[in-house]
Structure 1
């Protein structure tokens, strides 16, 4: 899914919510599904790729876009405002 398709799908979900055809929970599910699809189909430039964190902590399940696994780990720590090495998780390229 490209960026334009993702934006259109999110806009459609918001329109349905605004018109009363969808409740908040359903709208959230639709938007999350669009974002997950976009992230897993992401074809970045200059070596960018999506990576998912897997661990027994709050990093588990986070998906970030990075140039390498090491950069992905750094981005996860930054997003969670954690000191590098303070969480135990692995990253996997999607």
Structure 2
């Protein structure tokens, strides 16, 4: 999914929410699905990859795009608060 398609999907989800055709939870799900699809396909085209932090609550589910696991670890640490010394990184597929 390219950037324009992702934006269109998000816009459609918001239109349906504003029209009362979808609730907030369904809208959040659609927006998240569009973003995750964009992130994983974006990774395929650029050589970058989406990575997610696992472990302590401060890093759990923090997703970043990076060129390596080491870079992903640094980026996750930058975005999280109270980062634990040890946490794992998984590539988002």
Q: State TM-score, norm by structure 2.
A: 0.81
The answer to whether residue 37 in structure 2 is matched with residue 65 in structure 1 is no
Pairwise CA distance, 1:60: 1.6
Q: How do 1:1-94 and structure 2 match up within 5 A?
A: 1-43=1-43, 44-45=45-46, 47-82=47-82, 86-94=84-92
Provide runs of 4+ in structure 1 moved above 6 Å.
Answer: none
Pairwise CA distance, 1:88: 2.4
Q: Which has the higher helix share?
A: 2
Pairwise CA distance, 1:7: 0.6
Q: Is the 8 A contact 2:48 2:65 kept in 1?
A: yes
Q: State the aligned residue count.
A: 91
What root-mean-square deviation, in Å, do the aligned CA atoms of Structure 1 and Structure 2 show? 1.8
Q: Which runs of 5+ in 2 are unaligned?
A: none
The whole-number CA distance in structure 1 between the counterparts of 2:18 and 2:86 is 41
Q: Is the 8 A contact 1:64 1:72 kept in 2?
A: yes
Q: Is the 8 A contact 1:50 1:63 kept in 2?
A: yes
